[in-house]
Amino acid sequence: MLKISQQIQPPSFNEFGCKFEVDEMWTYIGRNTPKNYIWISYALERKTKSIIDFCVGSRSIKNIKPILDKVLVTKPKRIYTDKLPLYLNLIPIEIHKRFQYCTNKIERMNLNLRMHIKRLSRKTICFTRDQKYLEAHLRIYFWG
């Protein structure tokens, strides 16, 4: 699985003026304890529902900033997020919209991820033992 995922390159996204949604979801690596929780952050283009970039790690500026930088390069018309205060410092106010009902597509994608990839499900016997396998699995799912 690692060899296959290394051969997959993320598609280049070069449309300007699109609308994006950015969100994160939690899962765990190893045992289901709070100290093993890990976050998957990603950006979705609204019209085509394509994933621009993702990151697996903590929910911090260090991990979310590279995703938003890729989105901001395309000069988006609007970026929709949830009410996580972290986004206020990273997204310009004039294109940032924080509202509960504007992130429907990415929240649906979160549910699809949990349904299609059993290792992301909250209560299951399937789980990921190492972060690199989770990243490989997501890379294959998003771009393979």
Residues 6+ apart with CB under 8 A from 130: 29
CA torsion through residues 92, 95, 100, 105, sign: negative
pLDDT at 12: 86
* pTM for the predicted model, two decimal places: 0.89
pLDDT digits (tens, 9 = 90+) for 80-115: 999 899 999 999 999 999 987 889 999 999 999 999
**Is the model's pLDDT at 72 over the cut of 80?**
yes
Domain ranges of the chain: 14-143
Percent of the chain with pLDDT over 70: 96
- For 35-51, b/e burial (b = at least 16 CB within 10 A) is eeebbbbbbbbbeeebb
Are the beta carbons of 37 and 54 closer than 8 angstroms? no
User: What's the CATH class of domain 14-143?
Assistant: alpha beta
